[in-house]
Amino acid sequence: MNAGLQIDAQGRLVHLLSTEGLPAEMIRHILDTAAQFVSVNEREVKKVPLLRGKSIFNVFFENSTRTRTTFEIAAKRLSADVINLAIGSSSTAKGETLLDTVWNLQAMDADMFVVRHAEAGAPHLIARHVKPGVHVVNAGDGRHAHPTQGLLDMYTIRHYKKDFSGLAVAIVGDVMHSRVARSQIHALKALGVPEVRVVGPKTLLPREVERLGVRVCHDVAEGLRDCDVVITLRLQNERMSGPLLPSAGEFNKTYGLTPEKLALAKPDAIVMHPGPINRGVEIDSGVADGAHSVIMPQVTFGIAVRMAVMAILAGHA
């Protein structure tokens, strides 16, 4: 579904829609490029002129403050002009279709669309209908994918663990509804991580998730034992009570990452979370703010990774 659309015949990235089907060498290319931008972000002047004169439209059909902000900062540090549109509150409310919205923006000479949509596949639909030379970045579509989050997580893991080849990574919580988890799993497998575990109750793990090459653990102790990386996932508010879970408190007792549970992982394990965190639900404050937590560095690296993706896309317009 992605391969032909996001990589062209010359092996270049034209859209970033999913980490699924993204070759390991392309992922490494993105991470290596991001490393350059990490150093730019540490300077006095945090700006380079690579995307000067390019217009990037952040088109968010679903609310998000942080992801939109990091994309905006990333584009601005590349000197692009950034236009933010929260579509939920404008055109579609007047009945305009998704593609009509995009075509209108394209007529304003957009060079790139950063798209978030509640429907899986919306960014793919847009990618199929934009002019050649216009790029689409998926900033999260339904339960499907959130590739820049997956890539910034890979950057973070590589930063702390150097090498993917001997790692055990545990992804804990609501994998079922998580586009982040799916993007992480595809990227981790592509990069050759030998052991990826998904840890959670049956009701929050997708059926047949094993087929992605992961180990399923309903027992949290089994899932966390001796792992190098613990990724906790956000438990969406609307799922905290309902048919899938008895309560948020119950979830916290069994699967929430507490210092005691974290002690099962390796002594130098890192703890990640895509944010925003629910303290006392999927992660305790003692862990989120503790010595193993790399949650804030994830945010910082996220800017550099998004800069890398946009610079690579625009580099062969």
Partner 1 sequence: MTAPLPDPERLLEALAQTMKPAVGPDTGLVGIYTGGAWVAERLHRALGLATPLGLLAVTLHRDDFSRIGLHPEARRSQLPFSVEGRDIVLVDDVLHTGRTVRAALNELWDFGRPRRVRLAVLADRGGRELPFAADFAGATVDVEPGEELVLTNEGGRLRLAAVKRPQ
Q: Which is nearer to partner 1, 29 or 218 (CB)?
A: 29
- Give yes or no for a contact between 230 and 271, defined as CB atoms under 8 angstroms apart: yes
Tell me which of 128, 202, 253, 316 binds partner 1, using CB under 8 A. Answer: 316
Tell which positions 45-74 bind partner 1, by CB under 8 A. 45, 47-50
Report the residue from 9, 10, 43, 94 that binds partner 1 according to the rule CB under 8 A. 43
- Name the E strands within the chain: 55-60, 81-86, 112-117, 135-141, 168-172, 195-199, 215-217, 229-232, 270-272
User: Using CB under 8 A, which of 8, 25, 32, 260 touches partner 1?
Assistant: 32
Surface-to-core class of residue 107, CB atoms within 10 Å of its CB (0-12 exposed, 13-18 middle, 19+ buried): exposed
**Contact call for residue 267 and partner 1 (CB under 8 A):** no
Q: Is 208 in the site for partner 1 (CB under 8 A)?
A: no
Q: Cα-flanking dihedrals φ and ψ of residue 106, to 5°?
A: -65, -35
Assign 178 to helix, strand or coil.
Answer: coil
83 binds partner 1 (CB under 8 A): no
Q: Which of 35, 125, 216, 244 binds partner 1 (CB under 8 A)?
A: 35
The phi-psi region of residue 216 (left if phi > 0; otherwise alpha if psi is between -120 and 50; otherwise beta) is beta
Structure tokens that stand for 95 in this block: 């009945």
Closest CA to 205 of 240, 176, 233, 242: 176
Instruction: Report the residue from 1, 36, 118, 165 that binds partner 1 according to the rule CB under 8 A.
Output: 36
**Is residue 85 close enough to count as binding partner 1 by CB under 8 A?**
no
Q: Which stretch binds partner 1 (CB under 8 A): 37-45, 142-150, 273-281, 287-295?
A: 37-45
Would you count residue 10 as binding partner 1 (CB under 8 A)?
no
Kindly tell me which of 47 and 202 has the beta carbon lying closer to partner 1. 47
Look-up: residue for tokens 């217009």? 55
Euclidean distance between CA atoms 198 and 196, whole angstroms? 7
Considering the complex, what minimum distance in angstroms separates the CB of residue 40 from partner 1?
7
**Count of residues engaged in binding partner 1, rule: CB under 8 A:** 20
List contacts with partner 1 (CB under 8 A): 29, 32-33, 35-36, 39-40, 43-45, 47-50, 311-312, 314-317
